[in-house]
Amino acid sequence: MTAKLSLTAQDIAEMISSTLLAEMDYSRKLEFCTGQSLAGDFIPLNTIFQDLERILERIGIQFGIESSQLAGKDINLMAELILNQTGGRPCRVTFFTSGSTGTPVPAASNFTDLEQEIHSLASIFPDRRRVVSFVPRHHIYGFLFSILLPKALGVPKEYSPPLPGMEQIKKMRNGDLIIAFPLLWKKLENLDGVFPENVFGVTSTGPCPAETITGLQAQGLARMTEVYGSSETGGVGFRHDPSGMYTLLSHWKKTGDSTIERTSATGDKQQHVLQDHLEWQGARFRPLKRADKAVQVGGINVYPARVENFFRELPQVRDCCVRLMRADEGERLKIFIVPASEKENAALEKELRNLAIDKLSHHEKPGKYNFGPSLPVSNIGKLSDW
């Protein structure tokens, strides 16, 4: 029988600190950050955060706590309050995902299901001696692998900043399990450093290019484990070979080409629709392509992926991302363009709008264009709102 896992006040404080750091600009982080966390006596104030009430509300929702109880308290006091009310085992833990709209959407998971998942994942890392995480602890990936996994393995953990440098590789030790994400792994590969012996890596949050993984292995990384999942499902499957198929975790089973069923720790069963079209071989699978999801513009279903495909095929566009506008922006699609060459933005926008006139419907045409040298990403390398 697997051991029950409980959060400590320090675990909760790390999650609160991670949430607050994600809301700070770089200069504020330099001012207030101690190591990779905010000090326990740090009190979040309106003079530091633009929308403190929203941030505290999100922390409250994460643990199922009334956010008014958190106002005016430092991180340690918040953590103690949450620990006392949850006993270290909250019924549910809620994480947030922006999806295609850019608006944070809560995705709640039973704590017992998160515990079930991490015990399943821990079985594939039996000989690790330390967990080193570059991932924010308030995201589901960071929570599972930075907070729960070290407990399940019975090993120490260390949090490192997601800033690639040779010193990061030099600090790694024999037996380490490095928790990171595709963008950071790519940057570490570009350093062309040499990893110590017997260092394993984990990557999630999005596809990691096979050439990045093989490049890291050529530099001495002993094994890379890719974990497939989402904020709504948690981890679904894993693989150690970027050319191979993912293996479903034991609590999942296939029920359709893009649907799976989870048997929870309590025996309940729940169906989930995955975000990708999959190829299956028994209990093993390979993601083929992202499932197109519709959003409504003026009451009409439109598919941002189709609009993205149109613009990506234009020689003027190196890359792009399409989202539904936020409520404060309007009711149309918006697009972020990475130009293929240097050109004045206003002139390029006019050119692109003209090209879209006959190819896209009225509801598909972006109402707002933004330009930049690279697509906007979050602190874990996932596409973000702009």
Whole-prediction pTM: 0.81
Give the amino acid at 346: A
Asked, for residue 376, whether it belongs to a domain, the answer is: no
Domain that holds residue 28: 1-89
CATH number at residue 343: 3.30.300.30
* Shared-domain flag, residues 83 and 98: no
- As a whole number of angstroms, the distance between CA 73 and CA 52 comes to 12
| Encoded tokens for 252 | 């999942």
- Determine how many CB atoms are found less than 10 A away from the CB of residue 111: 21
Asked, for residue 378, whether it belongs to a domain, the answer is: no
| Encoded tokens for 131 | 């967990």
Asked, for residue 385, whether it belongs to a domain, the answer is: no
* pLDDT number for residue 101: 47
Measure CA 292 to chain center.
20
> In this predicted model, what pLDDT tens digit does every residue of 99-114 receive, in sequence order?
544 567 888 999 999 9
* Ordered DSSP codes for 106-163: EEEEEHHHHHHHHHHHHTT-TT--EEEE-S-TTSHHHIIIIIIHHHHHT--EEE--S-
> In this predicted model, what pLDDT tens digit does every residue of 34-62 receive, in sequence order?
778 999 999 999 999 989 999 999 999 99
* Shared-domain flag, residues 9 and 141: no
Instruction: Please say which residue of 89, 113, 137 terminates a domain.
Output: 89
Q: How many domains does the chain have?
A: 3
* Ordered DSSP codes for 245-309: PEEEPTTEEE-SSSEEEEE-TTS-EEEEE-SEEEEEETTEEEEEEEPP--EEETTEEE-HHHHHH
Asked, for residue 23, whether it belongs to a domain, the answer is: yes
Asked, for residue 386, whether it belongs to a domain, the answer is: no
* Shared-domain flag, residues 202 and 277: yes
Asked, for residue 130, whether it belongs to a domain, the answer is: yes
* Shared-domain flag, residues 44 and 102: no
Backbone angles phi, psi at 22, to 5 degrees: -65, -20
* Shared-domain flag, residues 258 and 218: yes
Instruction: Please say which residue of 89, 118, 149 terminates a domain.
Output: 89
* Shared-domain flag, residues 101 and 129: yes
* pLDDT number for residue 43: 96
In which residue ranges of the chain is pLDDT below 50?
Answer: 100-101
